[in-house]
Amino acid sequence: MSIRFESVSKSFGTKKILDDVSFEVTRGEVLFILGKSGMGKSVTLKHIIGVFAPDAGKVFVDQYEVSAMTSGARMDDLTLVRQRCGMVFQHPALLDSLTNFENIAFGLRSKQYSQKIGRKLSEEEIRDVVLEKLSLVYLEPEILQLYPHEVSYGVQKRVSMARTLAPGPEYLLFDEPTTGLDPLSTSSINALISELSRKLKVTSIIVSHDMACALSIADQIMFLDQGKILLMAPPKEVISSAIPLVQDFFKETMELLPPDWSLEK
Amino acid sequence: MGMGIFDRHLRTLYLAGYLMKRLVQQLAKGPHRKIEIMDQMEIIGIGSLPIITIATGFTGLVMTSEIAWHMDFALSNVSMIPGFTGQFVVRELGIAVPALLMVSKVGASLTAELASMRITEQLDAFKLLKIDVISYHIFPRWAACTVATVCLTLISIAITIIIAMLTAVTKYHFNSQEYFNTLAQFINSWDLVCAVTKSAIFGTVIPPIACAYAMKCEGGAQGVGQATTDAVVTCTLAVITLDFILTAIFSAVL
């Protein structure tokens, strides 16, 4: 059970975003993808759920070759893969026309989810799951009847996480989950991701700029630069890396960390 | 660069064609999403009523005054006002003005809404949730826009003719009975059939073009603005071009 990239390349126009990228994330691992903006981090995530197809190379989620499913007859297989993956987007990406409750419950009402669990959930069961996921992201039930535009951006992000968690994904993909949040919300979302990864023991891939969070909760940290993997290693090795970009990231992070901080993983 | 822009517009129009095909297929096979269509009818139809009423009312006023002035100046006779205004309204003005207003109000709103959804990754979320954006989001708006354009066109024709009649009565001393009797000699039910057909076609083409530009939108707020501008310009040109083609066809048939 893993997510595997084999020599994946992707260009948009003349710009090469991913250049012969290969890596593997095994079950239960937490991988952080770090790098400067525009280096292909989000594009990497979107290859996993088949939003983008590689120009060359292969992407596997478990036994499924996602890169071969993005069109034609194998779209049904892609649905199976997408069922296994939950993605928290850079933006909350909630459906504006639905209440927060309906947004979280959306995946639970789908035909695919009913097929997965072998039956249709009753309205009471859906409500129970929604409330359970809501408590996981530390939100109160009062926000459920509100529409996304009636709550703050931070709450929208949490609702988005609850929606992602609701159908019980085996893989969690986070695309810059703390972008646009104030420092307090950022640290609370980071704590949440860390807790979810440990509590739910799901395989997580997190695209972020937050090295401090990566050092605290990642099993592996991958640096992407100019479309290539600069380094993929556990946090301890990342700290001692001599690669200039990695050192720069680490130096910036150390300035933000408390003086008594140490790596405890 | 010129070729690049041309190529981009061509690709977008190709996508609009694909959207149209999918929408017609859904119309034939379902699901018809009646509740969402009714909601959109309220937003698009009722929401556009005030602007259509005001705009076509003033159009009727200006048109009657202009036609009357020219008739009086050239022929020293205003007896043909009902016939001329009636034909002009039912065959052209009463159809084109609402369609162009629908482009600027509904087309722009459809593009801005969907383009914003695209740049905020809601469309990616749709894919992950296995929601077909065409079936779930575009179809109800398309169906509602088509029905609303037909209804608003008929309302617009009625308003313009009433305003034209009031102008003729108050300014040129017609009586209303006389006005409608003369009008009836110049327009018939076939004119109304043509008006309904034209407006239905205009209402049908606006949403796919608007949504295609939204789905091709790139970048942030600037991208949404550009997509909306492109969509409004293209929809306007499409309405004017189709108006010419349909008028030529109906004239040939008549």
pLDDT tens per residue across span B175-192: 889 889 888 888 888 899
Q: What pLDDT, on a 0 to 100 scale, did the predictor assign at position A72? A: 61
Among candidates A51, A94, A96 on the partner chain, residue whose Cβ is nearest the Cβ of B127: A51
CA-wise closest residue to B218 among B230, B206, B207: B230
Q: Are A180 and A154 in contact (CB under 8 A)?
A: no
pLDDT at A253 over 60: yes
Q: What pLDDT, on a 0 to 100 scale, did the predictor assign at position A70? A: 65
- Which residues of chain A make contact with B218, given a CB cutoff of 8 A? none
Distance CA A66, CA A9 (A): 14
pLDDT at A151 over 60: yes
**Closest alpha carbon within chain A to B40:** A97
- Which whole number is the average pLDDT over A185-195? 77
Structure-model confidence comparison of residues B24 and A187, the more confident one: B24
pLDDT at B142 over 90: yes
Q: What pLDDT, on a 0 to 100 scale, did the predictor assign at position A256? A: 64
Residues on chain A bordering chain B, Cβ-to-Cβ distance under 8 angstroms = 46, 49-51, 79, 82, 85-87, 89-96, 106-107, 110, 112, 175
Measure Cα distances from B155 to B49, B103, B108, B143, B202 in Å.
9, 17, 22, 18, 16
pLDDT at B160 over 50: yes
Q: Are B185 and B109 in contact (CB under 8 A)?
A: no
B125 burial type by CB count under 10 A (0-12 exposed, 13-18 middle, 19+ buried): buried
The β-bridge relationship of strands A30-34 and A171-175 is unpaired
- Beginning with the edge strand found earlier in the chain, give each strand of the sheet holding A30-34 in spatial order: A85-88, A171-175, A203-207, A30-34, A220-225, A228-233
Measure Cα distances from A258 to A250, A253, A261 in Å.
14, 10, 5
Q: For domain A2-256, which CATH number applies: 3.40.1190.20, 3.40.50.300, 3.30.2230.10, 2.40.10.10?
A: 3.40.50.300
pLDDT at A251 over 80: no
Percent of chain B with pLDDT over 70: 98
Which of B8, B130, B218 should be substituted to probe chain A, the one whose Cβ sees the most A Cβ atoms within 10 Å?
B130
Count H helices, E strands: chain A? 10, 10
Q: Do A46 and B129 touch (CB under 8 A)?
A: no
Q: What band does A257 get if pLDDT is binned at 50, 70 and 90?
A: low
B12-55 tens-digit pLDDT = 999 999 999 999 999 999 888 899 999 999 999 999 999 999 99
Q: What pLDDT, on a 0 to 100 scale, did the predictor assign at position B155? A: 95
The β-bridge relationship of strands A85-88 and A203-207 is unpaired
Q: What band does B236 get if pLDDT is binned at 50, 70 and 90?
A: very high
- Kindly report each contact of residues A127-130 with a partner whose C-beta sits within 8 Å and lies 24 or more positions away, as own/partner: A129/A105, A129/A166, A130/A101, A130/A104, A130/A105, A130/A162, A130/A166
Which of A75, A78, A95, A173 should be substituted to probe chain B, the one whose Cβ sees the most B Cβ atoms within 10 Å?
A95
Structure-model confidence comparison of residues A214 and B155, the more confident one: B155
B46-94 tens-digit pLDDT = 999 999 999 999 988 898 888 888 888 888 888 888 888 898 899 989 9
Complex ipTM over 0.90: no
- Which residues of chain A make contact with B124, given a CB cutoff of 8 A? 46, 49, 51, 87, 89, 93
- Which whole number is the average pLDDT over A149-174? 90
